[in-house]
Amino acid sequence: QVRLVESGGGLVQAGASLELSCVASERTAIRRFMGWLRQAPGKEREYLAAIDWSSGSTHYDDAVKGRFTISRDSRTNTAYLQMTHLSPSATAVYYCAASDEGRFDDHDLWGQGTQVTVSS
Q: Determine the Cα–Cα distance for residues 115 and 14; give it in Å rounded to an integer.
A: 15
Q: How confident is the model at residue 19 (pLDDT cuts 50, 70, 90)?
A: very high
Q: What percent of the chain has pLDDT over 90?
A: 95
Residue 115 is inside which H or E element, if any? Answer: strand 114-119
Q: What is the pLDDT of residue 1?
A: 83
Nearest-CA neighbor of 18 among 66, 53, 67, 79?
67
**CB 87 within 8 Å of CB 18:** no
- Tell me if residue 92 falls in helix, strand or coil: strand
Q: What are the Cα distances from residue 48, in Å, to 35, 51, 61, 62, 75?
A: 7, 11, 5, 8, 24
pLDDT, tens digit, for every residue of 50-99?
Answer: 999 999 999 999 999 999 999 999 999 999 999 999 999 999 999 999 99
